[in-house]
Amino acid sequence: MTQTVQQRIDDLVQQNKIMVFMKGTKLMPQCGFSNNVVQILNMLAVPYETFNVLEDDEVRQGIKEYSNWPTIPQVYINGEFVGGSDIMIELYQKGELQQMVEVALAS
């Protein structure tokens, strides 16, 4: 990953309380896993930003190195990597995601 790509990812992760790197957009997810994450965040009714990795191959590959996580979508809350679709579903079902989001938005 180039320094430029790393800086772009850093900026997105740091400037947004909840940042999702996904296939498609929050209005038009392009895969089921990305759609799962969007649906969960929409149910929580919290503000979040997305980055469509299908529009930028450098970020699509770079985000995998950045997080050391091989799949997309990837969710960051308060600058910390949380995980992908399965982890988001699990955290949501346990009630832990709501807490994480509230803490992030309050800080």
Please, are residues 37 and 20 in contact by the beta-carbon 8 Å criterion? yes
Residue 107 has pLDDT above 90, yes or no: no
Indicate left, alpha or beta for 80 from its phi (over 0: left) and psi (-120 to 50: alpha): beta
Domains within the chain, CATH numbers bracketed: 3-106 (3.40.30.10)
User: One-letter amino acid identity for 78?
Assistant: N
In degrees, to the nearest 5, what angle opens at C-alpha 40 toward C-alphas 34 and 42? 100
Could you read off the pLDDT of 51-90 as tens digits, one per residue?
A: 999 999 999 999 999 999 999 999 999 999 999 999 999 9
pTM flag (> 0.75): yes
Cβ atoms of residues 65 and 74 within 8 Å: no
Neighbours of 44 (CB within 10 A): 15
